[in-house]
Structure 1
Amino acid sequence: MRSLERHRDVAAYALGVLDEADAFRFEDHLMECPRCAAHVTEFGPAARQLMLYRRSTPRAVHPMAKPGPQLLNRLLTEVAARHRARRRRLLYGLAASVVFAVAGPGVVMLAGGGDEPVRIEATDARSGVWAQVTTESEPWGSQVELKVKDGAGPRVCHLIAVGRDGSEQTITSWTVSRHDARENTMMGAAAMHPDQIARYELRAADGEHLVTLKSQL
């Protein structure tokens, strides 16, 4: 296989259609050609979708049969998910770059406008518990990340979202280890949208109030 032919065989190698001898020679070429190595990586998503199509297609179906709309839907769904993930990382970066103090000691909010994530943190002077809540609006409600430091364990705790109408929803629960004041991170969700939430409360399972984080929306 000449050098030019090796460059042209990137797609065939990535899709697994080269015979064993040509694949072996192409792998030797990859060791010396960063451009081809990069192209092989670019073919990864296409190769994965073809593999999924092959696995989901009955043996009785002719190999040259045209893929149906479900394959297109899965491709579009995966592309949309990647775009959302990229946008989410960007929004977190923007939110982290805007910091300002709000009323109340020991409270800081990182926020932006629109659908950007909103971050609130607070420390309760009585319990000594520190918490930080980052909320992101979703079509179905709110995605919530909680970070907490609580050295008064062992105990079971809950993060509660209190709506502006007085309703309550448990976002997440966790167990605090004995005398462990390290930062813990939990993920949770609420059916309420961020602008429908008046405050977040951390409570122990026995009802003890630990800290309140007031929404700034």
Structure 2
Amino acid sequence: MRSLERHRDVAAYALGVLDEAEAFRFEDHLMECPSCAAQVTEFGPTARQMMLYRRATPRTVHPFAGPGPQLLDKLLGEVAVRHRASRRKLLFALAASVVIALAGPAVAMMATGGDDDAVQVTATDEKSGVWAQVKIENEVWGSDIELTVKDGAGPRDCRLVAVGHDGSEQTVTSWNVPTHDARPNTMHGGAAMHPDEIIRYELRTADGEHLVTLPTD
């Protein structure tokens, strides 16, 4: 695939319509292209709303049926709500990381909390030294996932993978670890699988090296 064609695959990747091989090649390109990485992030709210629309639309409705006059206003409202919620989540994650740092090295654990029944999983890998925490919220379209990572062994490109009970895998998000920077790094992603369909989360390098596992059971 030529470089220009990779740039054009941003929307297809964000919407999850690329096949496994094409998605893997695009992720390699994503590690070296800040412009595409930024565009994938910008497509996030749109992709989630389209998945929500797909799940909520009856099979009897034609896929090319014209939208009602209130659809745009509803979508814009949903995006605004999610942006406000993302800012609140970032503040909570930073506060939690400070408390955990003061309390000492973390061990693998899982807890549920909050009025939204979100699930939070935290783990540290003794071999790699990587600490990670995921907060998962069940959505109509799948799982809304917030990831916080402490990894001082950069520079390296990494990704978070959700592994289903059936062995299937979905890439939740990807990022670059700066050189020797162990400060918390928080990002958001999503998976089409629902929380009860995911058995664990794995942090891996772009080369497939295992960094830490976060079991959900």
1:85-112 Cα deviation digits (max 9, x unpaired): 899979x98xx9xxxxxxxx71232304
Q: Secondary structure at the match of 1:126?
A: coil
Amino acid across the alignment from 1:161: A
Structure 2 stretches lacking a partner, 5+ long: 1-67, 96-105
Give me the TM-score of the superposition, normalised by structure 1.
0.54
Contact 2:149 2:185 (8 Å CA) reproduced:
yes
Q: Secondary structure at the match of 1:195?
A: helix
In the other structure, the counterpart of 1:153 is 154
Amino acid across the alignment from 1:183: P
Amino acid across the alignment from 1:157: C
- Quote the offset at 1:186 in angstroms: 1.1
2:75 and 2:177 mapped to 1: Cα distance?
A: 38
When residues 145 and 83 of structure 1 are mapped into structure 2, their CA distance, relative to the original with a 3 A threshold, is closer
- Quote the offset at 1:84 in angstroms: 7.7
When residues 158 and 85 of structure 1 are mapped into structure 2, their CA distance, relative to the original with a 3 A threshold, is closer
After TM superposition, list the pairs within 5 Å mapping 1:152-191 onto structure 2: 152-191=153-192
When residues 204 and 86 of structure 1 are mapped into structure 2, their CA distance, relative to the original with a 3 A threshold, is closer
1:106 and 1:200 mapped to 2: Cα distance?
A: 15
When residues 211 and 83 of structure 1 are mapped into structure 2, their CA distance, relative to the original with a 3 A threshold, is closer
Amino acid across the alignment from 1:192: M
- Bigger Rg, structure 1 or 2: 1
1:90-146 Cα deviation digits (max 9, x unpaired): 9x98xx9xxxxxxxx712323049952111111101100000001111111111110
Amino acid across the alignment from 1:181: A
1:5-45 Cα deviation digits (max 9, x unpaired): xxxxxxxxxxxxxxxxxxxxxxxxxxxxxxxxxxxxxxxxx
1:127 aligns with 2:133: no
Q: Which has the larger displacement, 144-153 or 114-123?
A: 114-123
Percent of aligned positions that are identical: 57
Give me the TM-score of the superposition, normalised by structure 2.
0.54
2:84 and 2:188 mapped to 1: Cα distance?
A: 19
Q: Secondary structure at the match of 2:166?
A: coil
When residues 85 and 172 of structure 1 are mapped into structure 2, their CA distance, relative to the original with a 3 A threshold, is closer
The aligned length equals: 136
1:122 and 1:106 mapped to 2: Cα distance?
A: 5
Amino acid across the alignment from 1:199: R
**Aligned Cα root-mean-square deviation (Å):** 3.1
When residues 169 and 80 of structure 1 are mapped into structure 2, their CA distance, relative to the original with a 3 A threshold, is closer
Amino acid across the alignment from 1:151: G
2:125 and 2:79 mapped to 1: Cα distance?
A: 38
When residues 84 and 163 of structure 1 are mapped into structure 2, their CA distance, relative to the original with a 3 A threshold, is same
- Quote the offset at 1:195 in angstroms: 0.6
1:86 and 1:154 mapped to 2: Cα distance?
A: 31
Amino acid across the alignment from 1:132: Q
In the other structure, the counterpart of 1:201 is 202
When residues 76 and 166 of structure 1 are mapped into structure 2, their CA distance, relative to the original with a 3 A threshold, is closer
1:58-97 Cα deviation digits (max 9, x unpaired): xxxxxxxxxxx72x5555666677778899979x98xx9x
Structure 1 stretches lacking a partner, 5+ long: 1-68, 97-104
